[in-house]
Amino acid sequence: MGAVGLGMLASVGVSCLIPDHDIQVLTTDVNRYPVRFVEGIELSEEARCACSEASCECPMAPLTLVPPFLDPDDPAYQFCICGENKVDANRLPGVTLYVEDQDEVDGDADDPVRAAALLDWDPTLGDTAVDYVAYRNYLDPREPLALYYSPFETSVLKRPRPYLRAITLSDSEGFDLCNGAGRPVGPGFHTLSIIASDRLWFKRETQTGDTGTESMEVVQDGVPDIAAGATYDVQTYVFKCLEEGDDFCECADITDP
């Protein structure tokens, strides 16, 4: 056998076959699961015990306890615009909303989720959400939301772990819809929209300097960066602000206990 034949045998002897099954391809540039608001529902005791005879509890997200329409005929939702050095004594005690994003890596939540509060934003008008961001003292749109641990995290069945985040709208005094927006709120009906997204907010290039030859990125709070693969969800609430002096308006001096 010649040298060429021996060489061919040697190359065959050291070669190997790569199987085309049981190969897992891990993609890191795909946003597999969207962010979305979740909320538990009120269940009867019979329904809860049908989930678990031992605990009479069902694995679901916590209750939000705030309806989409805060009916001003309900004494709990009669909010008031108050003057200087006064607060609305009937302000909400605090609101916590919940969002989930199931994206994870090795058992840890992967996507930092951020949220912004928008006052009187109407998406049908085409206005950019950044111009309507309000209530920054309650919700910082650039701060990632904290994970919220509950039995819902580990008790859900036949679906990925939700990795809940909590959006807490409250300070030490509660949540003042009519006086805490960071800008004037007029009497009448208004909307509060909470938008959550799983990517950094969209950034816009703007020209700087006298000649306009330099540019800088400006973060557009509340505007999801769809081109970067962002998903988002919006939850909207309707409320009414009364004027000081109106029936059911309860303004109190800040110094009052």
pLDDT tens sequence for the chain (257 residues): 555 554 544 444 555 555 666 666 655 567 889 999 999 888 788 887 888 778 777 777 888 889 999 999 999 999 999 998 889 999 999 899 999 999 988 888 889 999 999 999 999 998 999 999 999 999 999 999 999 988 778 777 778 889 999 999 999 889 999 999 999 999 999 999 999 999 999 999 887 766 666 778 899 999 999 999 999 999 999 999 999 989 999 999 886 55
User: What is d(CA 248, CA 193) in angstroms, rounded to the nearest whole number?
Assistant: 25
Structural contact between residues 232 and 218, judged by C-beta atoms closer than 8 angstroms: no
Of 251, 193, 233, 224, give the one whose Cα is nearest residue 100.
233
User: What does the angle CA 65 – CA 167 – CA 35 come to, to the nearest 5 degrees?
Assistant: 105
Output the pTM of the full model: 0.82
Q: Which residue is it, tokens 């540019």?
A: 215
Structure tokens at 61: 């997200």
Give CA–CA dist 167/29, Å, rounded. 27
* Residue tagged 């006064």 (tokens): 86
* 208 strand-pairing partners: 214
Q: What angle do CA 245, 133, 248 make, to 5 degrees?
A: 15
Q: What is the pLDDT of residues 22-64, one digit of tens each?
A: 666 655 567 889 999 999 888 788 887 888 778 777 777 888 8
Taking the C-alpha atoms of residue 58 and residue 40, their distance in angstroms, rounded to an integer, is 10
Q: Residue 196, class by beta-carbon neighbours within 10 Å (0-12 exposed, 13-18 middle, 19+ buried)? A: buried
